[in-house]
Amino acid sequence: MQHISKTLCKDSTEVKQLNLYKKGQVTPGGMTLNYCSIASLFTQLEDSAEFSTRMKAVKMFNQVISIVELQTTFELLDIYCHDVNTGLAFTSN
Protein backbone atom coordinates (compact mmCIF):
# COMPACT_ATOMS: atom_id res chain seq x y z
CA MET A 1 0.00 0.00 0.00
CA GLN A 2 2.86 2.38 0.75
CA HIS A 3 4.33 1.87 -2.73
CA ILE A 4 0.92 2.36 -4.38
CA SER A 5 0.23 5.54 -2.40
CA LYS A 6 3.63 7.04 -3.25
CA THR A 7 3.18 6.14 -6.93
CA LEU A 8 -0.26 7.80 -6.97
CA CYS A 9 0.94 10.74 -4.79
CA LYS A 10 -1.85 9.98 -2.31
CA ASP A 11 -1.87 9.53 1.44
CA SER A 12 -1.51 5.82 2.33
CA THR A 13 -4.47 5.99 4.70
CA GLU A 14 -6.69 7.26 1.89
CA VAL A 15 -5.58 4.39 -0.37
CA LYS A 16 -6.25 1.88 2.42
CA GLN A 17 -9.74 3.30 2.99
CA LEU A 18 -10.52 2.98 -0.71
CA ASN A 19 -9.38 -0.65 -0.58
CA LEU A 20 -11.53 -1.72 2.40
CA TYR A 21 -14.18 -4.39 2.01
CA LYS A 22 -17.66 -3.10 1.25
CA LYS A 23 -21.08 -4.57 1.98
CA GLY A 24 -21.96 -7.20 -0.62
CA GLN A 25 -18.39 -8.05 -1.59
CA VAL A 26 -17.27 -11.68 -1.54
CA THR A 27 -14.09 -12.65 0.33
CA PRO A 28 -11.49 -15.01 -1.18
CA GLY A 29 -13.01 -17.69 1.10
CA GLY A 30 -16.37 -17.27 -0.65
CA MET A 31 -18.12 -15.44 2.20
CA THR A 32 -20.52 -12.68 1.13
CA LEU A 33 -20.24 -9.66 3.42
CA ASN A 34 -23.87 -8.89 4.21
CA TYR A 35 -23.00 -6.79 7.27
CA CYS A 36 -19.73 -4.98 6.63
CA SER A 37 -19.06 -1.96 8.82
CA ILE A 38 -15.29 -1.77 8.45
CA ALA A 39 -15.34 1.59 6.63
CA SER A 40 -17.30 3.32 9.39
CA LEU A 41 -15.16 1.61 12.07
CA PHE A 42 -11.99 2.77 10.30
CA THR A 43 -13.32 6.36 10.28
CA GLN A 44 -14.31 6.16 13.96
CA LEU A 45 -10.86 4.90 14.93
CA GLU A 46 -9.22 7.60 12.83
CA ASP A 47 -11.31 10.25 14.63
CA SER A 48 -10.86 8.86 18.15
CA ALA A 49 -7.09 8.59 17.67
CA GLU A 50 -7.00 12.18 16.34
CA PHE A 51 -5.11 10.78 13.37
CA SER A 52 -5.32 13.90 11.16
CA THR A 53 -4.04 16.12 13.99
CA ARG A 54 -1.14 13.75 14.62
CA MET A 55 -0.40 13.56 10.89
CA LYS A 56 -0.20 17.37 10.69
CA ALA A 57 2.20 17.41 13.66
CA VAL A 58 4.42 14.79 12.00
CA LYS A 59 4.51 16.74 8.73
CA MET A 60 5.27 19.97 10.58
CA PHE A 61 8.11 18.27 12.47
CA ASN A 62 9.58 16.91 9.23
CA GLN A 63 9.39 20.39 7.63
CA VAL A 64 11.23 21.95 10.56
CA ILE A 65 13.90 19.26 10.43
CA SER A 66 14.38 19.78 6.68
CA ILE A 67 14.75 23.52 7.24
CA VAL A 68 17.48 22.83 9.78
CA GLU A 69 19.07 20.56 7.12
CA LEU A 70 19.21 17.51 9.32
CA GLN A 71 16.85 15.43 7.23
CA THR A 72 18.37 12.40 5.52
CA THR A 73 17.05 10.65 2.41
CA PHE A 74 13.99 9.46 4.33
CA GLU A 75 11.49 11.19 6.58
CA LEU A 76 12.42 11.17 10.23
CA LEU A 77 8.87 10.59 11.43
CA ASP A 78 5.79 9.06 9.91
CA ILE A 79 2.44 7.81 11.11
CA TYR A 80 0.28 5.08 9.64
CA CYS A 81 -3.16 3.66 10.12
CA HIS A 82 -2.95 -0.07 9.36
CA ASP A 83 -5.77 -2.27 8.25
CA VAL A 84 -5.57 -6.03 8.62
CA ASN A 85 -7.30 -8.39 6.26
CA THR A 86 -7.46 -11.93 7.58
CA GLY A 87 -9.00 -14.63 5.48
CA LEU A 88 -11.51 -16.02 7.95
CA ALA A 89 -14.35 -17.99 6.52
CA PHE A 90 -17.17 -19.59 8.46
CA THR A 91 -18.93 -22.32 6.58
CA SER A 92 -21.25 -25.10 7.60
CA ASN A 93 -21.95 -28.31 5.80
Cα separation of 37 and 24, whole Å?
A: 11
Is residue 16 within 8 A of residue 81, CB to CB? The reply is yes
List the domain boundaries for the chain: 2-49
Model confidence, pTM: 0.62
List beta partners, residue 20. none
Looking from the CA of 80 toward its CB, the CA atoms found within 13 Å total: 9
Distance CA(49)–CA(46), nearest Å, equals 5
- Contact 76/17 with Cβ under 8 angstroms? no
Per-10-residue mean pLDDT of the chain, 93 residues long, equals 85 86 88 88 90 87 69 60 62 54
Chain length of the chain = 93
Give the per-residue pLDDT at 88. 58
